[in-house]
Structure 1
Amino acid sequence: MLSDEELELLEAIKESGSLSRAAARLGKAPSTVSHAARQLETRFDALLFDRRRYRLQLTPAGQLLAHEAARLSQDVARLTQRVKQVASGWEDRLWIVTDELLEFETLLPVIRDFDALRSGVSLRITHEVLGGTWEALLDGRADIVIGATNEPPAIPKLGWHELGVMEWVFAVSARHPLVGAQEPLEREVIAEHRAVVVSDSSRRSQGRAYGVLGGQAALAVPTMRAKILAQRDGLGVGWLPARRVKSLLDRGELVSKRTADPREPNMLYLAWRGDQEGRAMTWWLDRLRSGRLAQRLVHGIDAFVLAR
């Protein structure tokens, strides 16, 4: 590891190209700079400075030393800052997992407000689907999960909060054969047509699939947006978040149909590991539990208002 003075020496020689100009830049006598350069070479038992040319240059070994020493110095500075950060109650990193039901756009204002705190906490935001959301918390792949469905599982020291209820609509494309079918749609009639489902991201089990009837063909897609687009294009049928597809329904690109077996609304949960509450987690939980933001998360954004 080089001292700050030694790093400054290497940088000064590299930039100026001569001992005299480096000395002037450092505010030292040329003899002092020359002696320090030779001491550095003796210390590493390597030729660090090419003195054969008119312009003094770093040798490949000198360039490597300058580059790696600067990188290590930055790493030490970052580590020092992170140690102070954790000692003051902030986490080193906060991992947030959202269920795919939620749109990432709803979190953008929260992220901006958190950045304004200049806490130094590194945020990681990923998403899971259905059982994979709870599983992420259970397996330690999340500190906070947002929008998880079904009842909270048995997880030691689990904290949870009800965000609100998501309403569903059974929708088909305006070009789909079920548009003209008699309502309410019976299970047998629906089962004759392919369902579109978002793939459960659970790693521990086969996962769940809402809205697929026994013997019904299914098209599995990676996201809720993909499911909406597939159904809009007549590639299948299924249940969709009512608020999220309102504009498509209003424009007639999707048509809602009553079914003999309506889908119950889903409670969406905010959950966290109660044994790891630092300042960042506390801040996020306070914001996410606020009524206005919780409502926005549950109701979502109609991303198809301008879509054509």
Structure 2
Amino acid sequence: MLSEEELALLDAIRETGSLSRAAARLGKAPSTVSHAARQLETRFDALLFDRRRYRLQLTPAGLLLAEEASRLMLDMARMTQRVRQVASGWEDRLWIVSDEIIEFDLMMPVIHAFDALQSGVKLRLTHEILSGTWEALRDGRADLIIGATNEPPAIPGLRWFELGVMEWVFAVSPRHALAKLKGPLTREEITAHRAVVVADSSRSTPGRVYGLVGGQASLAVPSMRAKILAQRDGLGVGWLPRRRIASLLKRGALVEKATADPREPNVLYVAWRGDQEGRALQWWLEQLRQPRLARRLVQGADLFV
């Protein structure tokens, strides 16, 4: 490892092309700089400076040494910062996994506010679907999960609170056969038509499916937005978040249908492992406990205004 003075010497010679000018830049006598340069060559047993030309230059070996030393110095500075960061209670990294039903753009103001803390914590945000969200926390692929559905499973050290309740509406395209039926739709009437479902991202189980009647054909799609688009185009039927399709219902691009078996609202959860509670995690939990933010995340925005 080179000292800061040695690294500065290499940079000065590379940029000025002269021992005298390098000495002037460093505020040292030319003889001192010349002696330091020869000591470096002796230390590495390599020719680092090409003195044959009018302009002093680093040899390929000298250039490599300067570049690698600069990189190592930067890495050391970063490591020192990370050690101090963790020692002060901030995590090195926080991995947040949200259920796909939580829209990322609604979380962006929170990310901006977190960045303003200048904590140095690296954020990683990914999403899972249904069982995959709880599974990410259980398997160590998340430090914090947001918007998980269903009751919290048995996970060692699990801590959680309710984020809010999401309301659903059974909706079909106005061109779909179910749109013409009168009265609440029965189970039999719904089963006769294909359902559109968002595919569960669980890696270790078959996964869950909401709103699918036994024996009903299904079309699995990758996201809630895709599900809304598929139902709008008559590719199938199913339950959709009321707030997110408000404009489609108003314009008649989707039709709300009453059902004989209404769907109960879903409780969405925030969860984490109690044995990992650094300052970044605590900050995020405080934000998510704010009613205004929680309501915005759960209700979402009208996706098709």
> C-alpha distance in 1, partners of 2:116/2:154?
35
Q: Deviation at 1:301?
A: 1.4
1:180 to 2:185 alignment:
no
Q: Which residue of 2 aligns with 1:53?
A: 53
Q: Deviation at 1:292?
A: 1.0
1:41 to 2:41 alignment:
yes
Report the more deviating stretch, 11-20 or 189-198: 189-198
Q: Which residue of 1 aligns with 2:300?
A: 300
Q: Deviation at 1:96?
A: 0.9
Q: Which residue of 1 aligns with 2:24?
A: 24
- Correspondences of 1:1-308 after superposition (within 5 Å): 1-305=1-305
For 2:272, what is the secondary structure of its paired residue? Answer: strand
The code of the aligned residue for 2:111 comes to: I
Q: Percent identity?
A: 76
| 1:69-122: CA deviation from partner (whole Å, max 9, x where unpaired) | 111111111111111111111111111110111101111111111111111111
> C-alpha distance in 1, partners of 2:200/2:183?
30
- The size of the alignment, in residue pairs, is 305
> C-alpha distance in 2, partners of 1:199/1:61?
56
Q: Deviation at 1:171?
A: 1.0
The code of the aligned residue for 1:20 comes to: S
Q: Deviation at 1:177?
A: 2.5
The code of the aligned residue for 1:159 comes to: R
Q: Deviation at 1:183?
A: 2.9
CA root-mean-square deviation: 1.3
The code of the aligned residue for 1:219 comes to: L
| 1:108-141: CA deviation from partner (whole Å, max 9, x where unpaired) | 1111111111111111111110001111111111
The normalised TM-score by structure 2 is: 0.96
The code of the aligned residue for 1:303 comes to: L
- Aligned pair in 2 of structure 1 residues 45, 183: CA closer, same or farther (>3 Å)? farther
Q: Deviation at 1:227?
A: 1.1
The normalised TM-score by structure 1 is: 0.96
For 2:54, what is the secondary structure of its paired residue? Answer: coil
For 1:53, what is the secondary structure of its paired residue? Answer: coil
The code of the aligned residue for 1:271 comes to: A
Structure 2: where are the runs of 5+ without partners?
none
The code of the aligned residue for 1:233 comes to: D
| 1:119-178: CA deviation from partner (whole Å, max 9, x where unpaired) | 111111111100011111111111111111111111122111111110001111223222
The code of the aligned residue for 2:44 comes to: F
For 1:135, what is the secondary structure of its paired residue? Answer: helix
Q: Deviation at 1:31?
A: 1.7
> C-alpha distance in 2, partners of 1:21/1:234?
76
> C-alpha distance in 1, partners of 2:56/2:142?
53
Structure 1: where are the runs of 5+ without partners?
none
> C-alpha distance in 2, partners of 1:185/1:134?
33
